[in-house]
Amino acid sequence: ALLHHCQGQLSGIGGVARPGIVHRIDKDTSGLLVVAKSDRAHHGLARQFEEHSVTRHYLAVVHGVPSAADPRLRGLQGVSFEAGGILKIATHLARHKTDRQRQAVVWQEGRHAVTRARVVEDFKGAASLMECWLETGRTHQIRVHMAYAGHGLIGDQTYGGKRRLPEKLFGPAAELANSFPRQALHAATLGFEHPVTGEELEFT
């Protein structure tokens, strides 16, 4: 679609396979992507992603409501709470040992990964809308971290488990959530410095 839309005006970095592609979001995650149309822009954007200076906020609908008062969460390795009830998850992530399509929380190997999240809206204690932001950008990071914390994303067939929202609490909304065809994750905000002019840009 990009090749058709941009008619050969994408950065050549990445070759025929991935022209202009600076970063990715998971398949079936909705939301924002930035694409480079010149090699200069591509280098400048790639550097910002490598330095983790790009602002990326996601919206997710998860099972349950993470709370600083939950002793189970407080006792979980790598999980802590910061001022304002912000959940912080810091682990390493690596490919799952038996399922190569998945990522897993590990401690001895893998790559360092930090996710922060806060509750935006509590849906009767059974689910919540979360704002999540990344200090690092690893494959499936938010999905793996939220599942590790016991609050997997609604609709996530890979990490979400078999949990369902109770129909007696939510009625038709439960049916919609329980049959949601993808992970309920949306790349909502993307902020970076324009790689040529230096202007601060933010998209929502």
> Any idea which residues carry the catalytic annotation?
26
**184/202 Cα distance (integer angstroms):** 23
DSSP type of residue 33:
-
Q: Which two tokens stand for residue 114?
A: 């930090």
Residue pair 112/78 in contact (Cβ under 8 Å)? The answer is no
Q: Which two tokens stand for residue 36?
A: 């480079």
Q: Which two tokens stand for residue 190?
A: 């993307």
SS3 content of the chain, % helix, strand, coil (to 5): 20, 30, 50
